[in-house]
Structure 1
Amino acid sequence: MKGIIIKSTGSWYQVLEAESKTIYEARIRGKFKLIKTRLTNPLAVGDEVEFSLEQDDVAWITKIFPRKNYLIRKSVNLSKEAHIIASNVDIACFIYTLKFPETSLGFLDRFLACCEAYNIKPLILFNKMDTLNDEEKEIVENIEAMYQNIGYDTLNISSYTKLNLNFLIDKIKDKTSVFFGHSGCGKSTLVNAMQPDLHIRTGEISESQLKGKHTTTFAQMHFWDFGGSVIDTPGVREFAMIDVQKEEIQHYFPEIFQAGRSCKYHNCMHINEPKCAVLQGLETGELEETRYITYLKLMEEAEEMNQN
């Protein structure tokens, strides 16, 4: 039988059988081919699998079908390994909060680079707009304009006032979407606001650190009444890219790649080369320094990983 992984807790999985829509508790049988050896989990929510039923209706997963894409994070305890948290995604929604908790632009840029690397359409959601004063709203507007100029889709939202949730529903209807962001950014609250009967557990913001407490401890797929599904994920602290060369990183920053076409040397890495159009763009303000800093960091990390 064929199905899709809708929940992963580590050693056990839930599989939704494609035709009958029956959900089975499942385990893995056999060895799955991982992407080299740097993944900590063989299966992820969103994976399409083949399985067989044995006694007590326990499903044994025997095959995983090729993924069209996936998003990964750095493993919590193993710095050189990564963990797939969602696969076969149509649209990945990054939930940005200016405060409670504060989201860094570097974290957002890593997410966007991962989307570019693994061929996933991103959508930046500026959440908790109802909590911002006029000055803070202007900051968000400037950040939003910056990413729109690069070519990314954005939307201002609020789970409490329902700001633009109708537009968000239009964007994710009949698609497999995934919500990403720091703990406390409002992922679960947003899902509940769009479909209250899901009753996803939400948490409070820690006053001492102004960071969210983890309320989602594993990835799980939920199905929208309006069509499609969403993968609710644990709060992510770092995104990772595995098995990429540092020369590839510029491909994942559209504006840097575009500017690089005008560099003197075709193999320019945009660090200190003569007549580098990217460095010139930074000097004139045409390119954003925050994005360039993330670009350099990702290149360093790619070189380190390929040395080990």
Structure 2
Amino acid sequence: MERNFDGTVIRATGSWYDVRTDGGEVVPCRIRGRLRLEGRRSTNPVVVGDRVVCRTDEGGDSLIEEIRPRRNYVIRRASNLSKESHIIAANIDRALLVVTLREPETAPEFVDRFLVTCEAYKVPATLLLSKIDLQDAEAVAAFRTVYEAAGYRVLETAAPQGEGLDAVWELLAGRTTLVAGNSGVGKSTLIRAIDPTLDIRTGAISESHRKGRHTTTFSAMYPLAGGGAVIDTPGIKGFGLIDIDGAELWHYFPEMLREAGACRFYNCTHTHEPGCAVVEAVREGRIALSRYESYLKILDEDEKYRK
């Protein structure tokens, strides 16, 4: 019997998509060919979190025919020097970036690039220091100082021991939250600790390189027992920015945005101009040097992509 229905994409494999209808039924769907050809630069035209219009034909096959306008999304460059993008998830209430300072180490520049994208696409972001029992206390304190000064909330957890989970649960309850990070930082372990009823695989760290193994193959949305949902994603290695104008980049560093109004020139790039309040704030320690260095590296990368 032919029928049309609206729903939310809760799993995306690249060829098949699980869509949860507004009535709660999960329907496997393919996407109509034209959705791949509408001038999209994204490698994945349909993503977890998308609101979609679907049709089941008389043969019982279901197709995604239309993607509703997205409220927001988190996006990155598909690969080095690529002009294509990869959307990680759409229509989310919050992004939770899971970070470890060792075993494995999350690079500060990766954190900053992720946060810039969240700022640019209006996704509130929170940082979570995972495996806190394995981290160096001084490094943790330094990390908190940098990112709390920038305006971000920083949580700490040791999921297997149950440490810090109450604050995470409070953050997740009633919201759709993207949980992202490098492989091996403990995303799946965290989600399973929050809701043990969820069937999410976990994995160990590779001893040879002290890097994480991918335990999540495809992005998927999981409903939480107490309300809300989490989107678990495969581990992300790099985070290239896309479609962010270099002249506007500083708008997406909240601490720079706070200082920039005092710059001598209205079009200050915060790199070399005299009377730059941002550079002065870096000198005086109100803006962390690591964050400012990330800003400069991203600017330099933007110039390379424009060539």
What TM-score range do you get, normalising by the shorter chain?
over 0.9
Query: CA shift at 1:69, angstroms?
Result: 0.7
Aligned equivalents of 1:123, 1:267: Cα separation in 2: 30
Where structure 1 has 5 or more consecutive residues not aligned to the other structure, the ranges are: none
Identity %: 42
Structure 1 distance, partners of 2:208, 2:73, is 34
Counterpart in the other structure of 2:270: 270
1:124 and 1:35 mapped to 2: Cα distance?
A: 35
CA separation of 1:37/1:64 partners in 2, compared to 1, >3 Å: closer, same or farther?
closer
Question: Aligned partners of 1:37, 1:236: CA distance in 2, in Å?
Answer: 22
Give ranges in structure 2 of 5+ residues lacking alignment: none
Residue in 1 aligned with 2:107?
104
Q: Please name the residue that 2:7 is paired with.
A: 3
**Superposed displacement of residue 76, structure 1:** 4.1
Q: Is the 8 A contact 1:6 1:13 kept in 2?
A: yes
Q: Once superposed, what is the RMSD of the aligned Cα atoms?
A: 1.8
- Cα deviation for residue 106 of structure 1 reads 1.0
Q: How far apart, CA to CA, are the structure 2 residues paired with 1:146 and 1:35?
A: 42
Deviation digits for residues 32-55 of structure 1, max 9, x if unmatched? 388964311111000000001024
Query: Which residues in structure 2 correspond to 1:123-272 (within 5 Å)?
Result: 123-132=126-135, 136-272=136-272
What SS is found at the alignment partner of 1:5? Answer: strand
**Residue matched to 2:65:** 62
Amino acid paired to 1:271: T
Matched, 1:38 2:36: no
Q: Structure 2: how far apart are the matches of 1:123 and 1:35?
A: 34
Conserved 8 A contact 1:7-1:45:
yes
Partners of 1:77 and 1:115 in 2: how far apart? Answer: 20
Whether the 8 Å contact between 1:174 and 1:228 is mirrored in structure 2 is yes
2-side partners of 1:144 and 1:77: how far apart?
A: 30
Aligned residue for 2:197, secondary structure, equals helix
Q: CA deviation at 1:24?
A: 0.8
Measured after TM superposition, the shift of residue 78 of structure 1 is: 6.7
Partner of 1:160: helix, strand, or coil? helix
Match of 2:16 in 1: 12
Q: TM-score, normalised by structure 2?
A: 0.94
2: CA distance between counterparts of 1:290 and 1:7?
36
Structure 2: how far apart are the matches of 1:109 and 1:225?
Answer: 32
2:52/2:67 contact within 8 Å kept? yes
Q: Quote the residue 1:89 is aligned against.
A: 92
CA distance 1:65–1:295, change in 2 (3 Å): same
Counterpart Cα distance in 1 of 2:232 and 2:196: 14
- SS in structure 1 opposite 2:34? coil
Letter of the 1:101 counterpart: P
C-alpha contact 1:29 1:61 (8 A) present in aligned 2:
yes
Q: Deviations over 1:56-107 (max 9, x none)?
A: 5321111100111111233247733221111001010011101110111111
Query: Is the CA contact 1:24–1:58 (under 8 Å) kept in the aligned structure 2?
Result: no
Tell whether the 8 Å contact from 1:27 to 1:59 is kept in structure 2 after alignment: yes
Instruction: Tell me, yes or no, if the aligned pair for 2:157 and 2:163 is still in contact at 8 Å.
Output: yes
